[in-house]
Structure 1
Amino acid sequence: MRPALLNPLFAQVTSLSGIGPKQEKLLRYLLGRDDTPRLVDLLLHLPTSVIDRRAQPKIRDAVPGTVVTLKVTIDRHRPAPPRNRRAPFLVYASDETGDLVLTYFRNPPGMVEKLLPVGATRYVSGTLQMYDGTPQIVHPDRVVDEAGFAKLSGIDPVYPLTEGLALGALKRAIALALQKLPDLPEWISAEVMRRCGFPTMAEALHRVHQPLELTDVLPDGPFWSRLAFDELLAGQLALALIRAQLRRPAGNRHDGDGHLRKRVIDALPYALTMSQRQALAAIAEDLRQPVRMLRLLQGDVGSGKTVVALLAAAAVIEAGKQAALMAPTEILARQHVKTIAPLAEAAGLRVAILTGREKGRERRDILAQLEQGEIDLLVGTHALIQDDVAFKALALAIVDEQHRFGVRERLALTGKGEAVDVLVLSATPIPRTLVLTYFGDMDVSELREKPAGRQPIDTRAVPASRLSEVMDAVGRALSAGALVYWICPLVDESEAEGTGHLTNATERFESLQKRFGDRVGLVHGQMKGAEKDRVMAQFAAHEIGLLVATTVVEVGVDVPAATIMVIENAERFGLAQLHQLRGRIGRGSEASTCLLLYHEPLGEMSKARLKVIRETTDGFRIAEEDLKLRGEGDVLGVRQSGLPGYRIARSDVHAQLIAQARDEALHIMKENPKLGGPRGAALRCLLYLYERDEAIPFLSAG
């Protein structure tokens, strides 16, 4: 149960005056929620910058191009002529040193007259520009009288907004939410408070939203850092609680005698690499231990993670148990099955797939066989964690691409068996610091080598001005029977608003189709699963030679014959994403080429990225470089520089707080593992506040 103390913060935003259905919808979009946002969501939506309105010069001394606040007398109005709605409404004002023009375009009738009555004194704030030698402010941000000015803060925070939501409306809502903030207990230890110089949470929230100094909203300042530490501590404490639960002594263990593993290995067309053998030995040892396995297996694109996962599954199947493999997308789930099926068949393992596409009778049959123990390994999407999916004896949960699943999904899957072992697969090599953030103290195995026979990929950067040459080269390759990927950042025009010159896939498909006819196909994320599969199958069967795609092909698409990839707007992709995309070629025995088309001029960051991707195909090096270049938002496939799953903590600024939060969480687990007493109650508030409460039910469990 959520502590009653927090109820005011979990009230819906519609309980605040002035927030009706229209505002609620905009806030839902802004705050990224599927349901009505709560006050806590508003309070944790932090400003990105501030405007300093404290400069109050006379008109004569005001510097053009700066934000100023001027005390003026309103002299006269010049409304727009009735027939010309486009002409501005001008207000002439002055102080003892000079004249000022206030300009309004397309304003509601009567608004300006009411706001700026002739003869009145007003304080106006906005960016001052010179126009025909006269100072002017277009659409002042603030217009107030003497009483209003006394209340106006000189420092105004600026927030991320969404179209249709006015800054003023958001600020009013946040100010009302701040008034409802309850008196929260302190969950950070006195020692950490002192060492880090943290204020209380209430003071941090007030100073970030109602700054007294320009520096109050800086992410590395004490106020933002305090909130970031809270969020990191909640995350680390939740991981530690789950970890402790997973580490509880497990009864009968799940290691078999090796006969199925031997059959799978014998059926492989190549020998296992050294790191695959090491990972398997570590997994076998984990399965023998009296505590549950929690291991992260990271390996680059094409390093053979699926085979290791299958061999781990075979180990528990030898002991008469079942395994499940959960992937984030249907394409990826079907890809795993394609790799696994021939090997499983050779070893006599029974494998089935369950995604949103299996329906009705087919689905009922799969579920019945699963419950009877007639399926050894079930592969699927989050369809695996639905309530009616029941295993006879689930012993191993394999979760692919972990950072796309929350802790909740992992728990839902492990909850379907007794003392289930967990193996997490990541195709994005994750730097060590981040492994701690996302997985706590997980054991890690790395697959460093590429399987034998893989060819190097020749990667080149080409300016977009040479597009026609690239098309000619693609034409020659198609005539020679090559399979070519052409990657675009967007699906269609609706996505392209405000993105400048980004190419969309639909448009590029049409232009390439004009040139190459029906040899061109298109796949993107908005297509239905069956349709995507159909086009991919045509590509794999050489029925089409050129596949135009969005990043939907980034994971798990396996067409070994494809040898050429063109990536448009390569400067707009993160390093990890470029590396993942490029990993779709170079999977067969032919040499491959990747062309990175970029628009000039290139920024420093884009230049550095394209240089790294040209120089190396080592995913571990790319991940480290990526972290250096732009914080781990992109290492984990998230676009901003924030930590995925975190709203406030930022990798580039709060890296040292991650380790401190982790140490604090481990200390709490040692001193107070059941979160008892006043400090424990305070920590429970913290977990609920940052929605990391999935770990709380474990406190009462054994």
Structure 2
Amino acid sequence: MRPEILFPLFAPVDRLKGVGPKVAPLLHKLAGPLVRDLLALAPTGVIVRRRTTSAEAVEGETAIFEVVIDRLIRPGRPGVPIKVRASDDSGFVHLVWFHGSTNHIERLAPPGERRLVSGKVERFGGEVQIPHPDHIIPLERAEELPIVEPVYPQTQGLTSRQIRRLVESALALAPELPEWQDPAWRARQGWPDWRAALLALHAPTGPAELLPEAPARARLAFDEALAHQLALARRRRSRQVAAAPRIVPGTVSEALLAALPFTLTGAQSRALAEIRADLASGEQMGRLLQGDVGSGKTAVAALALADAVSSGFQAALMAPTEILARQHALKLIPMFAAAGVEAVLLTGRDSAAERRDTLAALADGRAALAIGTHALFQEAVTFRNLGLAVIDEQHRFGVSERQRLQAKGDLATGGVHLLTMSATPIPRTLELTQYGDLDVSRLHEKPPGRTPVTTAVLPQARIGDVVRRLGAALDRGAQAYWICPLVAESEAVDLAAAEARAADLTRALRQPIGLAHGRMPGAERAAVMDAFARGELPLLVATTVVEVGVDVPNASIMVIEHADRFGLAQLHQLRGRVGRGARASACTLLYGGEDAGLGETARERLEILRGTEDGFEIAEADFRLRGGGDPLGLRQSGFPAYRFVDPVRHRALMQAAFDDARLILARDPDLTSPRGAAIRVLEHLFDWRPDRPGAD
């Protein structure tokens, strides 16, 4: 039940004065349907006005002039602006409108009257001009002219000034709320209380007060981060108290470990120990295993799957694409078969007979391991006793999809353990925000045998040199990828297209060339990829369909066209397709058009990639460069839609909120203390879910 004190904030914005049937949908689109949503629409800037004279006016500043209106200069022909000449003791000020009604302008600025005029100063032909003044008012209404005015996001039909007036109406409804922050912490930070912070946010005295570090903004950001971390901590606690099967290593685990063609790295051994401690605890595991390209996540996951099978339970490994699922099946099914365990592959392309046999084997328990795509959580799939679900490239699945796979377990034996994996290293800030309810294991080391990849950055104009060197390498038996950002040529976008590039390279190299892109039928694309993996094709021209799940140890060359159009994380993933075998490997990043240069951010991005292969370092740089907008595309996978938090600038606050949330629930798990009651108010206040429009 939402606390009664919050009812005014959860009233519809339609109840505010001035919000009619035309304005309401615009406000809903811009801020949201509730008064609280409008109050969370922070200004994006400020207009600071300085009182001055015609002689002292500075071009580019927003100024206030006290003038006498001399006369209106009507345009003599269409296209000529309307002008009003005004004057002060030091000279003339010309007010200019490039469109408008002369009658309306004459009412605003009647000749002979004294007025306060505000606007951005321009100089034209030696004259002081104000195009489209923002205020023209009589002297007796001087208090209406703000010296500092917040600027709000706008939408067609709703101006910043209208929004400001509506925000002022909403602020009048904001109640004094109980303090949920620790008093000593708030005093150290020098922060105001919640209502004072809200008032200060919407009445800045200068641009500095809108910075993320400003006391009002920082206070509200911490509150928002704390509410989010409390929700994650509650989810984590509910999982930890849920019973789950006890899983321990056994004969299948030993057989699989002995069959690995390498010794586990220290990082793999540590991650496996953390996973095994969770599996044996009797509480439901929720762990994220993240590691760089080629760090050996699959081997760790395979041993966890073997533990589940050794303990008499079934296990499932789900991948986002059929290519990746088949890649896993190709490796794991023979290894488990050698240990006497039946494993099956389930995808959306199986024949009816194959699917029928696979479903029967899972239902009666003959198949102890299932590897597949989204097909694994479909309604027709039943397991006899699923104990562990492993999800690869987990950010490509939604929360509900992961839950649907976990729901395949048998409630009699407890909840299904969950191990998620990510080949895209995740910055610490995102661990706190998106994965704060999970334990995290990191693989920092690469297994022996992985070769370094030499990375070169070249302009697109050097493509002829690249093709010549590539041809020589292919003649020596090398295999290569050539990545293009588009499938087919486009008149609207001047970027390389895979189909046209494959044709060009076929003519230039006179070698068999494969082509793979997302618009091809799945079977046709898989056949090309398989031929490349078998070494039948020396060169594969592709789009980003090869970003994950393609393991061709002989491939040692990667060329990426228009690399400046890709994100750092994606470039790192693509580069990770080479360097998997004994050959010295190289990656060439081509940028720009035939004569185009690089922007500053694009240059920094490519230089970072050239300077390091450390995926965690690259992930942190990617997050810093992209900022809090949409780092790594995580808006699509549950990244919180913050209103006040800047994930880059507020990293320290987010860590503090992470720690505080766990301390709060450790001391007062049911929130029964006075501070606990205030925290319940906080949780409701910052619940941004759109399906809770009113007081319940």
TM tier, shorter chain?
Answer: 0.7 to 0.9
- The one-letter amino acid of 2:452's match is P
Matches within 5 A, 1:489-568: 504-506=495-497, 510=500, 513=503, 516=506, 519=513, 521=515, 523=517, 545-550=539-544, 553-568=546-561
Residue 65 of structure 1, CA deviation: 1.9
Q: Give SS of 1:186's match.
A: coil
- The correspondence for 2:283, drawn from 272, 279, 291, is 291
Partner residue of 1:485? 482
- What's the counterpart of residue 587 of structure 1? 580
The structure number with the bigger radius of gyration is 2
User: Aligned equivalents of 1:22 and 1:442: distance in 2?
Assistant: 42
Cα deviation, residue 221, structure 1: 0.7
Query: For this pair of structures, how many residues does the alignment match?
Result: 671
Structure 2-normalised TM-score?
0.80
For 1:606 and 1:271, locate their aligned partners in 2 and report how far apart those are by CA, in whole Å: 39
Deviation at 1:64, TM superposition (A): 0.7
Shift of 1:571: 4.6
CA RMSD of aligned residues (A): 4.5
Give the CA deviation at 1:673.
0.1
CA deviation digits over 1:59-114, x for unaligned, max 9? Answer: 221101222233442621434734xxxx2423223122322334444x46668647
TM-score by length of 1: 0.79
Structure 1 unmatched runs, 5+: 497-502, 695-702
Relative distance call for 1:126 and 1:267 in structure 2 (3 A) is farther
TM-aligned CA distance change 1:616 to 1:663, over 3 Å: closer
SS of the equivalent of 2:649 reads: helix
Partner Cα separation in structure 1 for residue 492 and residue 362 of structure 2: 42
Number of the residue aligned with 1:158: 151
Deviates more, 1:289-298 or 1:336-345: 336-345
**Superposition deviation, residue 230 in structure 1:** 0.9
- The residue aligned with 1:653 is 649
Match of 1:664 among 652, 660, 665: 660
The 3 A distance-change label for structure 1 pair 668 and 22 is same
Matched, 1:679 2:675: yes
Question: Which one of 40, 54, 61 corresponds to residue 59 of structure 1?
Answer: 54
Q: CA deviation at 1:438?
A: 4.4
CA distance in structure 1 between the partners assigned to 2:154 and 2:522 by the alignment: 34
Matches within 5 A, 1:238-387: 238-248=231-241, 250=243, 252-255=245-248, 258-265=250-257, 268-327=260-319, 335-337=327-329, 339-347=331-339, 348-353=341-346, 372-373=364-365, 376-379=368-371
Distance 1:233 1:149 in 2: 42
- Alpha carbons 2:316, 2:390 under 8 Å: kept: yes
Higher mean C-alpha displacement, 674-683 vs 108-117? 108-117
1:475-504: per-residue Cα shift (whole Å, max 9, x none)?
A: 6666777432224399997997xxxxxx54
Picking from 87, 95, 107, the partner of 1:95 is 87
Alignment map for 1:581-660 (pairs within 5 Å) = 581-599=574-592, 606-623=602-619, 636=632, 646-660=642-656
The 1-side partners of 2:105 and 2:674 are apart by 58
Question: Are residues 327 and 20 of structure 1, via their aligned partners in 2, closer, same or farther at CA, if it must alter by over 3 Å?
Answer: farther
SS at match of 1:445: strand
CA distance in 2, matches of 1:473, 1:341: 39
1:131 is matched with which residue? 124
Equivalent position SS for 2:192: coil
Change over 3 Å in CA distance of 1:378–1:21 after alignment to 2 = farther
- Which deviates the most, 588-597 or 383-392? 383-392
Deviation at residue 309 of structure 1 after TM alignment: 1.4
CA shift, 1:229, in A, is 0.5
Cα separation, partners in 2 of 1:611 and 1:150, compared to 1, 3 Å = same
Distance 2:524 2:156 in 1: 34
Moved more, 113-122 or 241-250: 113-122
Q: Distance in 2 between matches of 1:71 and 1:371?
A: 85
Pick the aligned partner of 1:69 from 46, 64, 67.
Answer: 64
Separation in 2, partners of 1:250, 1:278 = 25
Offset of residue 373 of structure 1: 4.5
Cα distance in structure 2, aligned partners of 1:473 and 1:305? 34
Q: 1:197 to 1:27 in 2, by over 3 A?
A: same
* Letter matched to residue 523 of structure 1: H
Q: Is the 8 A contact 1:307 1:340 kept in 2?
A: no
1:394 corresponds to which of 369, 376, 386: 386
Residue aligning to 2:178: 185
Residue 232 of structure 1 corresponds to 225
The structural deviation recorded for 1:223 is 0.7
Equivalent runs, 1:377-456 vs 2, <5 Å: 377-379=369-371, 391-401=383-393, 414=406, 417=409, 418-430=414-426, 435-440=431-436, 443-456=439-452
- Residues of 1 paired with 2:103 and 2:376: CA distance? 58
Q: Which amino acid aligns with 1:211?
A: P
Q: Which amino acid aligns with 2:124?
A: Y
Q: Name stretches of at least 5 consecutive residues in structure 2 with no aligned partner.
A: 691-696
